[in-house]
Structures are given as C-alpha cells and as structure tokens.
Amino acid sequence: MCQAACVRYAVLLALPIGSPLFTGCQAREPRDEAVISKALPASPLAVVLATDCGVEMDDQWALAHILLSQEFALRAVITTHASSIGFSSATSAKTAVEVIGRVLPAGGSPPPPVVPGSDSPLRDATTPRENPGVDMLLELSRSFSASRRLVILATGAGTDVASAILKDPSIVNRVSVVAMGFDDWPGGGDGFNVKNDPLAWRIILNSAVPVVVGSGAVTKRGLRLTRAEAGALMRSHGPVGEYLYSLFDDWLRKQATLVAQFVAPETWVVWDEVVVAYALGMARGNEVPRPELQADLSFSHPETRRRITWLTEIDTDRVWLDFTKKIDVRGQPGRQP
C-alpha cells in the first residue's frame, strides 16, 4: 500500500504547469473532503495571500515571488495580525504596499488590492472577526466552486480564514488553504503563525476545507540561507534582488540574538516561500489523517477518513532558480520567463 504517499485526490492544486505534482497509486477519497481543482493549462492559478507581511522578511520574499509569477493571478493581499508581538494588520498592509511598489514594474498591470484583516485573534469558536479582509475573501470566493477553487496562501495567523468559515460555512466548498505553520508531523506544535490564533486553526482543521501544510521542519530543511548565500542568490539580480537581499540582511543585523537562538548565527529560514514552492509544483508531501489541535498546540489523532497534506520535501534549487529568473525578467520588459 502507498496510501501515505498518495496525495492526488485531496490536494491536487490547480497548477498551470504540465507535469503532475505527485505520482504513484491512487488513494481513496474521503467522503467529506472536496478536491482542489485542476485549472486549464493556460489559466493562471487564482490565489489570495493571507499574510502578516513585515513581521520579519519571509512574507516579503513570498509576496515578491507571487507578484513576479505569471502562473498566478493574485486576486488580493489580505493582511493579518501577529498578536503575540503586537503587530497589526494595518502595519502589515503598509509593508505589503511597499513590496508591491518595489517589485511590480511601473506602468504594468494594476496592483492587487491590499486589504487589512483582523487585528486580534478570535474571541470564541462561533463569532467571526468582522473586517474588510474577511469580506473581501468571501466576495472573491463566490466566483469559485468545488471544481475550481480559490487558493488561499496563508502565511500568518488563521483568523481571517477561520472568520470567513464561521461567517459563511459554504466557503469550504470554494477555497483551499496552503499554509505555512506548525512544527512537524505528527506532533504538531508551533512557534508563531498558529500560536497567534490557535482557535482559528481548530476551526480550519475541524472544517472540510482542503488543507496543505508546510511546517517549520520542512522549511528549515529546504529554505535555509546564510547571509552569504542570500547575497550570492540575490545581489546580482538588479534593484529587486538587492532590495530582497537588504530585507534578509536587515533582519539578521537587527535580530541577531533571535536568529542565533532559533536557527543559527548569520542564518535564517525563508519560511513562507514554502507556500509558493507548493503552488508552483516544487514541493511534495504525504496525505495524513486530519488531526485535531489541542490546547498546547500539539496534535491528537482521532480515527478519521478525512485527510490533509503534509509537505515533506522542497526542491530548493528549483525554487531559487525560478525566483531569480523571474526577477531578471522583471528587469527586462518584453522578455518571457
């Protein structure tokens, strides 16, 4: 049996590239979990980025990569809080607008709307946070269906996604969630994104929305860079590359103690790039039983046929090559990637 490694039925993301993300035998479909749709080959993948952009530097890199990728149609950036450090959705929105201004070519396509979402976690398991970000997410989702889903790339707290589910439970039939969060499988745990609203993630996991998780463990293995490596990766790629390197460099300089404690001296992980890697077909994982989130952020594992996908591998070289090639294309109008 290859059930653990066969993830096509629940997480086949709507990718505009030709090769399938996973191979192997076909797994059985759970009764209550819808399939993430497969777009037409020529169609960009419709995505929303739900982000705490500006907390560190990884959201900015992920947003830049999305903006530069013709494979995506970025419908909106919905900014959220990082309540554990007092970081607001309005501050995140300002950072996202700055990234868009630095990365998108002047006079090109209109930029995506940036809409602030929640400033604090959910109060309880039945009351959504009311804000323009949740309203935007619900409005955008209504053009989609179970056979053609809007993909939410979640790189911050889950408050707005959970609020949308509470406000209109039918949204689980129109969207899928690809998130950076949790420490590792099967234990769960989390140091930041989930910690900023654990109740939101209980609601997401208890719902039927299709979920893909890129954990801290897989990102540490695949998206870790030293200062020297980040410089070699980005600094030869014009103003955008220099800007992205400066974000990495500033983070290492200003947060040297935290960096050394959580990763290593002069080294950081571009955590949120995992959602972009998956959406581009450059990450893969296993289908696992859908867990329940406990008060201490650990997982329990009740008997269930419902599944999520847990990413286990990132094609690091392809991710960084894709990113830098797109930066170069941005600097040469008319050139195709």
Which pLDDT tens digits describe the chain residue by residue (337 residues)? 333 333 333 333 433 333 333 333 333 333 333 333 444 445 899 999 999 999 999 999 999 999 999 999 999 999 999 999 999 999 999 999 999 999 998 888 899 999 999 999 999 999 999 999 999 999 999 999 999 999 999 999 999 999 999 999 999 999 999 999 999 999 999 989 999 999 999 999 999 999 999 999 999 999 999 999 999 999 999 999 999 999 999 999 999 999 999 999 999 999 999 999 999 999 999 999 999 999 999 999 999 999 999 999 999 999 999 999 999 998 665 455 5
Q: In what order do the strands lie in the sheet with 72-79?
A: 114-116, 72-79, 45-51, 150-155, 175-180, 211-214, 307-314, 283-289
Cα angle at 147 between 143 and 151, to 5 degrees? 65
Both tokens assigned to 91: 């501050």
Nearest to 327 by CA among 270, 259, 242, 263: 242
* CATH superfamily placement of domain 41-223+270-330: Ribonucleoside hydrolase-like (3.90.245.10)
- The domain ranges of the chain are 41-223+270-330
Longest dimension (CA), the chain: 54
Residues 6+ apart with CB under 8 A from 333: 105
The Cα 317–Cα 310 span in angstroms is 21
What does the pLDDT read at residue 109? 83
| Residue 72 phi, psi (nearest 5) | -115, 145
Where do the H-state alpha helices sit in the chain? 8-11, 58-67, 89-103, 132-141, 159-167, 198-206, 216-222, 227-234, 238-254, 256-262, 273-279, 316-330
Which of 181, 156, 146 lies closest to 310, judged by CA?
A: 181
pLDDT tens string 159-185: 999 999 999 999 999 999 999 999 999
Compute the CA torsion angle 128, 129, 130, 132 (nearest 10 deg). Answer: -120
Look up residue 157 and give its amino acid.
Answer: A
Say which residue the tokens 């020297």 belong to.
228
d(CA 39, CA 17): 10
Whether the Cβ atoms of residue 76 and residue 113 lie closer than 8 Å to each other:
yes
C-alpha 321, offset from chain centre: 19
Q: Is the pTM above the cut of 0.85?
A: yes
Question: Is the Cβ–Cβ distance between 314 and 86 less than 8 Å?
Answer: no
